[in-house]
Structure 1
Amino acid sequence: MTPPDEHPRTETATAPPPQCPAHAYGTGGVARLYGPAAEADPMGLYEQLRERYGAVAPVLLHGDLPAWLVLGYRENLDVMRTPSRFSRDSRNWRDMREGKLPPEHPLAPISTWQPICAFADGQVHERWRGAINDSIGRFDRRGMRRHITRFAGQLVDRFCTAGKADLVDDFAEHLPMLVMTQLLGMPEEYGPRLVKAARDMIKGTETAVSSNAYVQETLRKLVVRKRADPGPDFTSWLLEHPSELTDDEVQQHLRLVLIAAYETTANLIANTLRMVLTDPRCRANLAGGHMTLPDAVEQILWDEPPFTTILGRWATQDTELGGHKIKSGDPLVLGLAAANLDTAIRPDPTAPVHGNRSHLAFSGGAHECPGQDIGRAIADTGIEALLTRLPDIRLAVPEDELTWVSALMSRHLVELPVEFTPQQPQPMPVPELPAPAPAADAEEPVGSAADQEVPALPAAERRSWWASLTRWLRRR
């Protein structure tokens, strides 16, 4: 990429737009995607860049490394779908080859090449991605939802007697990691510290490197244990897959799945809960049957995707994108949030989008998120369990007092304080032991352990979530 002061279309526009803080801009008037100014209002910055440069804008990453931010929907798809021009292999990054991203650089944990499908194209990508897809496909969806409901209930039990809670700190940030540690075959007690390390690493903070080291060591020990004692879990399935992944390849893919699933799902839960609690249009549509909870989740994926941007792709050749000349070795940042609001495909970004999954919240092309349905399941099942237990839940502060924290790749609520009528914890019902099966039925398969862990309530004790939610909405 050309130096910032020679960046395309910036030669005569070295001063930032008057409505944007000057310190958001670096050398040559090119906007930084990091620092207080950029993180205060990332969506506002994206729109200013779109107005100034069009569908692709020159930007600066940490350390004022030059990059391109892809803002247009079609341009993002072009990048995602043409690996021959825009590779996922970060070894193409010219600045990295020149030693400008040492191990202690904040972006090193998420950009240094690793033996995982997210950094590969072609046959190598197909081998690794095939193992991921096949292993995810082995999950028992009904059993997984029962795990989600059980963990959501445990979290609600921790605060239900108080009549108040912070749904970010007490619920959204813990549920995905509890579920993922279960699916990966990890002890549940790993969850709390992994939550902290995962979020710190994805922010690209000064301690991101040490947080990454903790996650890596935890997963290394898990792989060693599962190699010796496999079980019905994602880690064991990767280890036994016909593609014969090495222990290191399994470890790195576990990290990829864990971090991606955690960050996206925690943000998705928090953002959906905020919309349900604060948006009168959403409440009216849910109460009137014009929108279901999965519809609400999908709307959030359009309007507030869990990852606002993704670093990245790297140009394999000199090419053109959005009217800009891209040089071989240039990095590209996929602007998922900006693309979802591109008026070229959403003339009215404020209009609801029902039954449409063509958003880019989970990226696209060959590298589209393989676990997106798991994320959706954790979000809608967990929120369903929460609203069923606390049908009169309401926001405890004015909506304009809610605050967000942003980083390069994500934006999330700091707190979501709520109030509700105090409830008593619900002990898990103890199932009656089934009678011994007749000898003739000895060969008949039984349900999985996951299916048996959370027994169904008797019919008289089951409550309709939809009826509970409708009652709650009508009280508003």
Structure 2
Amino acid sequence: MRLPEADDPARLYEQLREQYGPVAPVLLHGDLPAWLVLGYRENLDVMRTPSLYSRDSRRWSAFQKGEVPADSPLMPTVGWQPLCVFTDGEEHARLRGAVVDGLAQFNRHGMRRYVTHYTHQLVQRFAASGKADLVRDYAEQLPMLVVSRLLGMAPDEGPALVEPTLDLMRGSETAAASNQTVTEVLHDLVRRKKTTPGNDLASRLIAHESTLSDTEIVEHLRLVLVAAHQNTVNLIAHTLRMLLTDSRFRGRLSGGRMTLPDALEQVMWDSPPIGVVPGRWATGNTVLGGQHIKTGDMLLLCIAAANVDPEQRPHLTVPMHGNRSHLALSAGPHECPGGDIGRAIADTGIDELMALLPDMRLTITEDELSTTSDWLARRPSALPVTFTPSRSALAGAARAEVTGAAQPLPEAAVSSHEKKPSSAPAAAKPRPWWKLFSRR
């Protein structure tokens, strides 16, 4: 069965599960065969057994037979690159170690100051109008503003990368060109940071003891930028949709029995930011989920289907907050090293947005909401809302806009043991965001 850009991928996955079991044969762009891993246990087996299921895409039989053209929309996501996600063993440990060390320099408190600043700045753009599309105007913008600065970019560079970064993950006909755009910006960044290093990921990778090549540095910056942006955009959009449409969720929240981190975990169970993760490649003939996998076959990890596997979750209505055994961040040696950064951006961003605009409401019904889907992910196409422009939102956002250019934000996100003491007053502790609902 062809793996389409389905309007209802969840239904497709269940049809495949019913017909084939936990592992199903599918066709990708260009009628290239692959296996879609639907079962929770089967996904864990693949994630935790790199000796059987390698991350090295050069093993793909379709590559070896010359069946994948250079301009294939699959190339930005499965074409081999000198990245930790395409390696195993010692080489994987070397490359991943540099990324983990680079991300470890950012503390969560500094991240929250970052996110708060940019949330106010974004709200300033639409606060006076009393309306916004929370996907286009907020969810797609915030993660890029934050992550691009962590990488070391100038404030004006991040916004221009929003669309090409989203596009290269869609598998569209323009994905290769978008990928090239992002890569060129990162090459320029590395050249600058070699002469003017700072407290950022690019500078840390350049100076890391793993002695990464320039190509390895650029590719890992691209990996972090694309993964952090795509995952966090989808996480924010799905969570905001839940807040705006699920009355039961609001009831539990206002009663104090669910925190925002709980809500984020529930979303990662029900609507993981990336629904399908390519890929793994079989190192030899094996059997998985009753299917005979041949050497060089590609496997796609269907996180969206695994998280709702009836064997794992027989009752989907039972809340899963507090349970982090979902596969949204993968597992095994290739588990996402930046999951906490994405959570921090989403948690603080939604918290601040709700504090600034507490009476947001959809301008259309839940049934009228549409979904954007591609072969890897899905999220709400738009979340049009109206709200009462509050005096605090306008004043706070305006201050963020005026002072933004002068703020030494990268320093604020660096771990306390790596930065100089600051005499600036500590930020006020935010109120629990769910209390906003109890005022309505």
Aligned to 2:205: 238
Residue 286 (str. 1) matches residue 257 (str. 2)? no
Residue 470 (str. 1) matches residue 435 (str. 2)? yes
Greater alpha carbon shift after TM alignment, 391-400 vs 319-328: 391-400
Question: How do 1:259-298 residues align onto structure 2 when only pairs under 5 Å count?
Answer: 259-298=226-265
Aligned to 1:6: none
Give the distance between the partners of 1:248 and 1:300, measured in 2 at CA. 35
Give the distance between the partners of 1:221 and 1:283, measured in 2 at CA. 46
| Alpha-carbon shift at residue 425 of structure 1 (Å) | 3.8
Deviations 1:132-176 (A, max 9, x none): 111111112211110011001101111111111100001000000
Aligned to 1:428: 399
Match 1:362 to one of 308, 326, 329: 329
Aligned to 1:3: none
For structure 1, list consecutive stretches of 5 or more residues without a partner in the other structure: 1-30, 432-444
- 1:170 match: secondary structure: helix
> Which has the bigger relative contact order, CA under 8 A and spacing at least 6?
2
Question: How do 1:439-450 residues align onto structure 2 when only pairs under 5 Å count?
Answer: 448=419
Question: How do 1:43-442 residues align onto structure 2 when only pairs under 5 Å count?
Answer: 43-423=10-390, 424-426=394-396, 427-428=398-399
Give the distance between the partners of 1:193 and 1:160, measured in 2 at CA. 22
Give the distance between the partners of 1:75 and 1:127, measured in 2 at CA. 28
| Alpha-carbon shift at residue 447 of structure 1 (Å) | 9.1
Give the distance between the partners of 2:280 and 2:62, measured in 1 at CA. 13
1:119–1:472 distance in 2 versus 1, CA, 3 Å: same
Given that 1:283 and 1:473 are in contact with CA atoms closer than 8 Å, whether structure 2 keeps it comes out as no
Given that 2:47 and 2:334 are in contact with CA atoms closer than 8 Å, whether structure 1 keeps it comes out as yes
- 2:80 match: secondary structure: coil
Give the distance between the partners of 2:45 and 2:287, measured in 1 at CA. 11
TM-score, normalization: structure 1? 0.86
The runs of at least 4 aligned residues of structure 1 exceeding 6 Å deviation read 449-453
1:181–1:84 distance in 2 versus 1, CA, 3 Å: same
Deviations 1:4-56 (A, max 9, x none): xxxxxxxxxxxxxxxxxxxxxxxxxxx1112xxx4211111000000111100
1:386–1:450 distance in 2 versus 1, CA, 3 Å: farther
| Alpha-carbon shift at residue 192 of structure 1 (Å) | 2.2
Given that 1:144 and 1:450 are in contact with CA atoms closer than 8 Å, whether structure 2 keeps it comes out as no
Given that 2:355 and 2:436 are in contact with CA atoms closer than 8 Å, whether structure 1 keeps it comes out as no
Give the distance between the partners of 1:419 and 1:181, measured in 2 at CA. 29
1:224–1:471 distance in 2 versus 1, CA, 3 Å: closer
| Alpha-carbon shift at residue 190 of structure 1 (Å) | 1.4
1:354–1:181 distance in 2 versus 1, CA, 3 Å: same
| Alpha-carbon shift at residue 97 of structure 1 (Å) | 1.1
Give the distance between the partners of 2:264 and 2:163, measured in 1 at CA. 25
Give the distance between the partners of 1:82 and 1:447, measured in 2 at CA. 37
- 1:338 match: secondary structure: helix
Give the distance between the partners of 1:325 and 1:447, measured in 2 at CA. 52
Give the distance between the partners of 1:142 and 1:97, measured in 2 at CA. 47
1:449–1:267 distance in 2 versus 1, CA, 3 Å: farther
1:465 alignment partner AA: R
1:463–1:256 distance in 2 versus 1, CA, 3 Å: closer
TM-score, normalization: structure 2? 0.93
Larger radius of gyration: 1
Given that 1:92 and 1:329 are in contact with CA atoms closer than 8 Å, whether structure 2 keeps it comes out as yes
For structure 2, list consecutive stretches of 5 or more residues without a partner in the other structure: 404-415
1:92–1:420 distance in 2 versus 1, CA, 3 Å: same
2:244 alignment partner AA: L
1:74 alignment partner AA: R
Aligned to 1:11: none
Deviations 1:84-118 (A, max 9, x none): 11000000000011111121011011111100100
| Alpha-carbon shift at residue 452 of structure 1 (Å) | 7.4
Aligned to 1:435: none
Aligned to 2:413: none
1:340–1:446 distance in 2 versus 1, CA, 3 Å: closer
Give the distance between the partners of 1:358 and 1:313, measured in 2 at CA. 21
| Alpha-carbon shift at residue 203 of structure 1 (Å) | 0.1
Give the distance between the partners of 1:281 and 1:449, measured in 2 at CA. 46
1:470 alignment partner AA: K
Give the distance between the partners of 1:70 and 1:449, measured in 2 at CA. 49
1:286–1:86 distance in 2 versus 1, CA, 3 Å: same
Give the distance between the partners of 1:267 and 1:76, measured in 2 at CA. 21
| Alpha-carbon shift at residue 470 of structure 1 (Å) | 2.0
| Alpha-carbon shift at residue 456 of structure 1 (Å) | 4.5
1:326–1:232 distance in 2 versus 1, CA, 3 Å: same
Identical pairs, percent: 55
- 1:362 match: secondary structure: coil
Deviations 1:286-319 (A, max 9, x none): 1011100110011000000010001100001000
Aligned to 1:19: none
Give the distance between the partners of 1:121 and 1:463, measured in 2 at CA. 43
Give the distance between the partners of 2:135 and 2:380, measured in 1 at CA. 7
